[in-house]
Structure 1
Amino acid sequence: MIRLLAIAALFVASPAVAAPTPVELTAPGPQGSLAGTLLDPDPKGPLVLIIPGSGPTDRDGNSPLGVAGGPYRQLAEALAAKGIATLRIDKRGLFGSEAAVADPNAATTGGYADDVQAWSKVARAKTGRKCVWLLGHSEGGMVALVAAQRPEGLCGIILASAIGRPMATVLREQLNANPMNAPILAPALGAIDSLEAGKRVPQASLPAPIQPLFADKLQGYWIDLMSHDPAKLIASVKLPVLILQGTRDIQVSVADAEALKRAQPKAVLTLLPGINHVLRPVASDDRRTNIATYADAALPISPDVAAAVVGFVTR
């Protein structure tokens, strides 16, 4: 089932729910506590666990690398207005979850999935729900797929702006898509080839502009991430799956969403016209305009995102 979302009017017309008070929760991490925020407007309604994307992304969806305005917080508030509870979390080793591990750069997809399982247990115990929904954004989609291989206590998964092809393939495509990368393209692609093969590359041997991307301390993370194939993972998922993909996402393409759908034909694929990677509306195909929305704290996310989630988890 593939559909273009056109239900914003229905979403707006449905009755609103009083805003709940945020509740701080903790879950056990490897070496210390993980931290998160629960918004629970209706104890009888669904509960969605929001899994952050790559890098230093906090529970609100903000990042010191250029994302502001709290897209995950905005999504949580929009869902709360429709009676849907959310739990949004800080990743191990970062922000409120800093004590969970000594080195956040040593994190792996499997480790993040373990944390999701820990959060699922805490959320169910705290709220009395039998299961929780996982919503993985960007890299969080891969984490959701790995976590869903152990489906106990999970209602289903929602993949928002999630890659559907191996990470090395997507990274090559991202680098090739930007003409400004021409001077560093050959060594960057060579580094990807090596990491995909499980081999590290001396950071000092790379051009300065790409050294932060392939820093020595991050190469274990890249090798681990590139070892997972999202198409193979989703093919083995037995839970309900919603694939959400914006048509103006310049980091993850519609082709990724379609690859996920092909691998799991029972999944629901919803395309969000004009929406970019951080779930915000973009008026044109101009790359600079698109990127400018990431740091625009005053720009809300599209209501179509929450509408799609509400429609799926309340079916």
Structure 2
Amino acid sequence: MALAAVAVATGPVPGAAAAAAAPRAAALVPAVDREVRFTADGTTAYGTVHIPAHRAGRRLAAALLIPGSGPTDRDGDAPPGFAPHTLSLLAGALGEDGVMSLRFDKYGTGRTGMGGRPSAPDMAAYTRQAVAAYATLRAQPEADPRALLVVGHSEGGLRALLVDRAVRDKPAGLALLAPQDMRLLDMVDFQLAGALDRAVAAGRLDAARARADKRGVTRAIADFRAGRSVDTSKLLPSVAAALDGMFGPVNAAFVRSDDAVYPPSVARSVAPGTRTLVTCGTEDTNVPCRTVPPLLSALAGARTTGPGLRVLPGIDHLLHPAGTPADAPVIAPAARRALHAFVRPWRQAPAS
């Protein structure tokens, strides 16, 4: 894999002012967002390094932020219709503790192209891109190479584990926020089953029809995994559309590559002593708390350290208080507290 990193300043950077600082107090460097670009598999990706205010010459803990599934850009958005700003808000929360961060436009989002691919990249390609981003973060002059962190949301939590497995210079910490914790299509199976159950409870769907569709979803997944033709014609239109989108020519290769990964198996290879955080929201219907134990057991078996599991009462998959509009730009206070607890060993008091 070819890898190159180029930084382009978009704001104040450490310079001559630091050299002129008083002997007893290094100059204060104001917070800045810096545009960066890097290359993975011949495709240039673009991102933002957020550097909080700090004293000149001080090295900072540095976190790579990895978004969830779909066409999600560096800010955690899928414009124009979905803009919760999940990653940009996480960058701000980390900055409050003096932790710098890098977030980037993954393939097909923001300024980053598809690299000439006619369909979605597979999981290995997305992971190589994230590994290149990790190397770019490590190369930033303000970054402390002994305090590199990876923070992943949803599918990004699985990719954080894959990055940890792939890199030589291991992260000191992994924050897995509402992470994908089981095989992709097992997750899709229970997510669709849950949606059907909720429709029955709300009186919008007959129970017998829901049972038939559950069986149909399980059968379609088994056929896809076995390489057989998949027939969704007898399913509810909304259910059929969800499966057809995943199993069609654009996404099938990615879905197969993701579904081949069992997250707890990857977690078993995390280095002993790695500080880990795993969150689950009690109102998260995508990754409910009941599915987390195998991942937690794998991390415990790897002899990782805390804070470990943080259950977030009343919080949904987007780290919102339940009932918040999906694209509301907010991170729930409980999620922020969990993140602050995770970075406590690397916290630096706000520069003043």
TM-score by length of 2: 0.74
Deviation at 1:104, TM superposition (A): 7.1
Query: CA 1:301/1:139 → structure 2, altered by over 3 Å: closer, same or farther?
Result: same
Q: Paired residue for 1:160, among 177, 180, 199? A: 177
8 Å contact from structure 2 (residues 220, 231) kept in 1: no
What CA distance in whole angstroms lies between the structure 2 residues aligned with 1:104 and 1:87?
A: 28
Counterpart secondary structure, 2:48:
strand
Deviation at 1:84, TM superposition (A): 1.5
How many pairs were matched up?
Answer: 287
Which residue number corresponds to residue 260 of structure 1?
A: 295
Which residue number corresponds to residue 314 of structure 1?
A: 344
1:31-78 CA-to-partner distances (Å, cap 9, x unmatched) read 321111110114533111110110111111112496323121112112
Query: CA 1:255/1:18 → structure 2, altered by over 3 Å: closer, same or farther?
Result: farther
Query: CA 1:63/1:249 → structure 2, altered by over 3 Å: closer, same or farther?
Result: same
Deviation at 1:137, TM superposition (A): 0.8
What CA distance in whole angstroms lies between the structure 2 residues aligned with 1:206 and 1:28?
A: 45
Q: Paired residue for 1:113, among 117, 127, 140? A: 127
8 Å contact from structure 2 (residues 97, 340) kept in 1: yes
Query: CA 1:45/1:308 → structure 2, altered by over 3 Å: closer, same or farther?
Result: farther
What is the 5 A alignment of 1:142-181?
A: 142-153=158-169, 154-179=171-196, 180=199
Residue 75 (str. 1) matches residue 86 (str. 2):
no
What CA distance in whole angstroms lies between the structure 1 residues aligned with 2:314 and 2:175?
A: 19
Task: Name the % identity.
Answer: 27
Structure 2 gaps of 5+ residues are: 1-27, 200-204, 346-352
What CA distance in whole angstroms lies between the structure 1 residues aligned with 2:50 and 2:107?
A: 21
In terms of fraction of residues, the more helix-rich structure is 1
Residue 273 (str. 1) matches residue 329 (str. 2):
no
CA RMSD for the aligned pairs?
Answer: 2.5
Residue 305 (str. 1) matches residue 322 (str. 2):
no
Structure 1 gaps of 5+ residues are: 1-16, 283-288
Query: CA 1:149/1:277 → structure 2, altered by over 3 Å: closer, same or farther?
Result: same
The structure whose Rg is larger is: 2
Counterpart secondary structure, 1:212:
helix
What CA distance in whole angstroms lies between the structure 2 residues aligned with 1:274 and 1:104?
A: 40
1:263-293 CA-to-partner distances (Å, cap 9, x unmatched) read 22144111111111111112xxxxxx3xx62
Which residue number corresponds to residue 4 of structure 1?
A: none
What is the 5 A alignment of 1:16-165?
A: 20-41=31-52, 42=54, 43-64=58-79, 67-98=82-113, 101-103=115-117, 105-127=119-141, 128-131=143-146, 132-153=148-169, 154-165=171-182
8 Å contact from structure 1 (residues 52, 90) kept in 2: no
Residue 296 (str. 1) matches residue 296 (str. 2):
no
Q: Paired residue for 1:225, among 235, 239, 258? A: 258
Deviation at 1:184, TM superposition (A): 4.5
Equivalent AA in structure 2 for residue 314 of structure 1? R
What CA distance in whole angstroms lies between the structure 1 residues aligned with 2:248 and 2:339?
A: 36
8 Å contact from structure 1 (residues 46, 314) kept in 2: no
8 Å contact from structure 1 (residues 203, 216) kept in 2: no
8 Å contact from structure 1 (residues 27, 34) kept in 2: yes
